[in-house]
Amino acid sequence: MIASMRIAVFLLVLANLLFFVWTRGYLGTPANPDARRAEQQLLADQVLVVSRGEPPGAGNTRQDAEKAGDRKSADSCQSWTDLASADADKVERLLSEKFPAFKVTRRSVSENTGYWVFVPPLANKEEVSKKTAELKELGVEDYFVVQASGPNQLAISLGTYRTAEAASAGLEALRAKGVKSARMGERTGRPALAMLEIHGPEGQAEALRQAVVALLPKASPGACRAKAESTP
């Protein structure tokens, strides 16, 4: 009887000892199979989030492709200035036909030679006669009607000035007399010229330059405004 109890106690102690060794991982198996996994998940730089259904490693492939695409689409910019309107039209047609990957921004540039106060162009000579009669009734005698063809034909000039401040003062004096239709604007000494800023793939920039020069031998490109301002 005593021997049986001793054997039972021995087996119980042995079982507890084996359980203790097993829970401590001394037998090669961790107590918590997820412990190692949790440690690995703490390494955030090794965790890659991918979309559902996307195979592992696809995220890196996509990022690499985006970086390669950015390098491939390196942007060039050419500025073509002092172009006549017809020449600017030719360059835009060249872009649409042979260089569709390029985008163009067009601006009009005119030379300011002063300011003028005027009544905007009227519909016909009858309207001009009616307006000049009104001006005379308001005591305005110093005016002339623009007869030359162009955007200002049949406008009525009420004075020209060297500075914007002087033109503004002249306009206020006319309004004080009751001339409500008068306006102030810049005077240009020559027809407006066009400036083209052309953005597109760096790899085709030289071919574009040569094509434009072949089309307009006297033209030459310059640096775009943004790039020129960023240059120290």
Domains of the chain: 75-110+192-230 (3.30.70.120), 113-188 (3.30.70)
Question: Percent of the chain, pLDDT > 70?
Answer: 69
The sheet carrying 75-83 orders its strands as 75-83, 193-201, 103-109
What is the rounded CA–CA span in Å between residue 47 and residue 154?
74
Sign of CA dihedral 39, 43, 44, 48: negative
Dihedral angle, C-alpha 82, 76, 209, 65, nearest 10 °: -150
Q: What is the pLDDT of residues 154-178, one digit of tens each?
A: 999 999 999 999 999 999 999 999 9
- Three-state SS at 125: helix
Average pLDDT over residues 179-183: 96
Question: What is the pTM for the complete model shown?
Answer: 0.41
